[in-house]
Structure 1
């Protein structure tokens, strides 16, 4: 096989990248940190901005995870989601998506614990906001969401008049559902432990409210990688980090006072950097 550019992702495939690119006299591009291999061994390294790597070698820092979606794709995904078997569309509130709050829940990590107490409080904040603005919510768990949290979501939301859909990763097909939820949303609420979920939400161009789950002891007294990332997003205007008690009012403000929200485009820097190699 012949290649002008060899692309790999992560440390495990980085040695293969160097071997194949050397054999083909091709450019080598690595996504994420290839440690223990040094970045200078590659023609280009696309490294997440929240990773702490030395500024040596041909590095391009990218915001978060690589994701790209257009407004047209989001609209089509929203139409598909409205035909999901768990979707309840018995009224016209969803018309135009102006009063839809989409909630993306992650799960447990080394530094965070998604507890039932936290999720119950978050859902209460969202439902109070929906009551105040005459809106509805769409809620999804992820494959990392604990079973007791999913049971809570089912009990609280499966028949709640302000919830048009609750998707449980252990019960429902999730392929493409997050894009659909973003397409229908006026506001997005996302838990902050997942860099990929936060990135996907910010790529939608919707107002994004980020709430951190409780920290485990391993995260006490330190700034976690997701926190560094969200702070940078907030500085650039892509997201707003909140305490749990602030979610209700923040949703109401976002709907009552809509403002243009920039769309996170991690691919722009990637396209430019790769084009320079050709």
Structure 2
């Protein structure tokens, strides 16, 4: 396999978003592109060995780490802006910055686990503990949820507004290393929501994710038979109503494993509840604690009517503004290229 020359400075144009195809990573990267008001092309990669094992600490020969046609699309011309999310994407984003001789402005979302100086900007949640002159810290994950996004979702899923209130959305992720979400935990969660239903009536709006174990899907599909229940467990159930659920919910319950879903739920303005098992991983515990301290997240044992809601958690505009200012201050040529 012939290696493309890695260092070949040249002109740069356009924006590319690079991810490993994971839905959460892709959503964050595309959200940032939206916040920066650029129209990116999407590149989903599957790193070859040894890069997929070593990560962004090793970019020698990185043109061979992905399909040859993919690297060619990145190098003729180089992208003016590269946005990557996740450790695998960080390999390509760092390689683009070096191969282009700095023509590409490299933005990495999530801790790349190497010196942030290898990128122009790194966006990382505070619970990662990453610091540096070019690090932009967030509380949660980047997402597009704002008033306009929610209004569009209400229109797209307009029939959901006909459901009885209160509408309780249940957003279900999956198992996570170090987080004890066993069958007893799931049973307790369902029992709590059934008590809410018995007391308040209304509707249950349930959606699962690709990480949800099959046995959880079947358990949840069979639950909440009394009253109005909407359930989405995959493509066989039609279009995923997740945006509509966020838009019409009076309260939202999120499994504690998903930083992305918790962040998006807290961006709606509705009260958000979860059930965090004992002894969670330290970074996840820190994230939950910060959301609780700021009033965005509540233990499911709390009564929905008793919670007070701060303004929605929306960080995208602030993060995008900081990155724009850095581009304009350090690379005005890139700023001009992005505005074309």
TM bin (shorter chain): 0.7 to 0.9
Aligned counterpart, 1:189: 253
In the alignment, is residue 166 of structure 1 matched against residue 231 of structure 2? yes
Alignment deviations for residues 187-206 of structure 1 (CA, whole Å, 9 cap, x no partner): 11111111111111111111
Q: Which of 91, 109, 117 matches 1:31? A: 109
Q: Is the 8 A contact 2:296 2:309 kept in 1?
A: no
What TM-score results when the alignment is normalised by the length of structure 2? Answer: 0.65
Distance in structure 1 (CA, Å) of the matches to 2:125 and 2:205: 30
Aligned equivalents of 2:226 and 2:152: distance in 1? Answer: 25
Q: Secondary structure at the match of 1:68?
A: coil
Distance 1:15 1:182 in 2: 34
| Aligned-partner SS, 1:101 | strand
Structure 1 unmatched ranges of 5 or more:
none
**Aligned equivalents of 1:104 and 1:161: distance in 2?**
20
Q: Is the 8 A contact 1:106 1:194 kept in 2?
A: yes
What's the counterpart of residue 61 of structure 1?
137
Normalization by structure 1: what TM-score?
Answer: 0.78
Partner in structure 2 of residue 262 of structure 1: 311
Q: Deviations over 1:43-77 (max 9, x none)?
A: 21111222133x23411111221102223432442
Q: Which residue of 2 aligns with 1:275?
A: 324
| Per-residue deviation, 1:185 | 0.5
- 2:124 counterpart SS class: strand
1:234 and 2:299 correspond = no
2:197 to 130, 136, 141: 130
Sort the Cα spacing of 1:103 and 1:233 in 2 relative to 1 into closer, same or farther, 3 A: same
The number of residue pairs the alignment matches comes to 249
Post-superposition offset of 1:223: 4.4
In the alignment, structure 1 residue 211 sits paired with structure 2 residue 275: yes
Tell which deviates more after alignment, 165-174 or 187-196: 165-174
Aligned residue in 2 for 1:201: 265
Aligned partners of 2:153 and 2:243 also within 8 Å: yes
SS of 1:21's equivalent?
Answer: helix
- Secondary structure, aligned partner of 2:137: strand
Residue 304 of structure 2 corresponds to: 251
The structural deviation recorded for 1:2 is 4.7
Among residues 157, 160, 174, which one is paired with 1:107 in the alignment?
Answer: 174
Alpha-carbon shift at residue 181 of structure 1 (Å): 0.7
CA change 1:120–1:173 in 2 (3 A) is farther
Task: Check if 1:141 corresponds to 2:190.
Answer: no
Gaps of 5+ in 2: 1-76, 329-340
Q: Which has the larger radius of gyration?
A: 2
Q: Is it true that 1:71 corresponds to 2:135 in the alignment?
A: no
Deviation at 1:123, TM superposition (A): 2.0
Q: How has the CA–CA distance of structure 1 residues 229 and 196 changed in structure 2, closer, same or farther, with 3 Å as cutoff?
A: same
RMSD: 2.6
Aligned to 2:117: 40
SS at match of 2:284: helix
Deviations 1:88-115 (A, max 9, x none): x9xx653xxx511111121111122443
Deviation at 1:171, TM superposition (A): 4.5
Tell me which moved more, 190-199 or 267-276. Answer: 267-276
SS at match of 1:50: helix
Q: Distance in 2 between matches of 1:15 and 1:77?
A: 35
